[in-house]
Amino acid sequence: MDQDVPSAWVQRFTALIPPGPVLDLACGSGRHARLLAALGHPVLAADRDSAALASAAGQGVVTMQVDLEADAAAWPFEAGHFAAIIVTNYLHRPLFPHILDSLANGGLLIYETFSTGNALYGKPSNPNFLLSRGELLEVLRQHPSVTMYVLAFEEGYTETPKPAMVQRICAIKNAAGLAPGQPRLF
């Protein structure tokens, strides 16, 4: 798997990101941060690995070394600040409420990671690092003050970039004209 090639799922929705700052959370070497910066977005690339962040830094990308698993309550990002938040190949459930709170109204969440059944294809295989069926939809449904309009959701087997079980979602926060409540699908 080429870690420098942006995810096809992320690329599919980049044109929908409104103007404003973008957070690439658990960015690794910054493949999505570089893509979004090249598209003109100011990008904050956050990860705990300083060596990986060195690859992400550069034109239009500001980096931040932070270990959010050590203390999820110490979330360093402002509420309503980001036009988009991108998360791929990473799961730490205590961060979900913070991620949704940090999206601006009209902001886009693009999330893609491994799900139940991935042990058949390799790592991660620990259930703590695998989404359960429909979990991303349920996370959006459970937030008490945020309505997310789901643009796309997929879960199941993928062959690219390597065989894996994945779950993916793209959703807009508090889209105009939507009342609080269940996530809306179309």
Q: How many domains does the chain have?
A: 1
What percent of the chain clears pLDDT 90, i.e. is strictly above it?
75
Strand duo 22-25 + 43-47: pairing: parallel
In this prediction the pTM is 0.91
pLDDT at 179 > cutoff 70: no
Domain of 130, in residue numbers? 8-185
Tell me, yes or no, whether 125 lies in a domain. Answer: yes
Residue 134: give its domain's CATH number: 3.40.50.150
Placement of tokens 């904050």 in the chain = 44
Contact 184, 178 (CB under 8 A): yes
Strand duo 164-173 + 82-88: pairing: unpaired
Tell me, yes or no, whether 2 lies in a domain. Answer: no
Tell me, yes or no, whether 70 lies in a domain. Answer: yes
Dihedral (C-alpha) 45, 50, 56, 60: value to the nearest 10 degrees?
60
Tell me, yes or no, whether 145 lies in a domain. Answer: yes
pLDDT at 106 > cutoff 50: yes
For residue 7, the 8-state DSSP code is: P
What tens digit of pLDDT does each residue of 13-46 get?
999 999 999 999 999 999 999 999 999 999 999 9
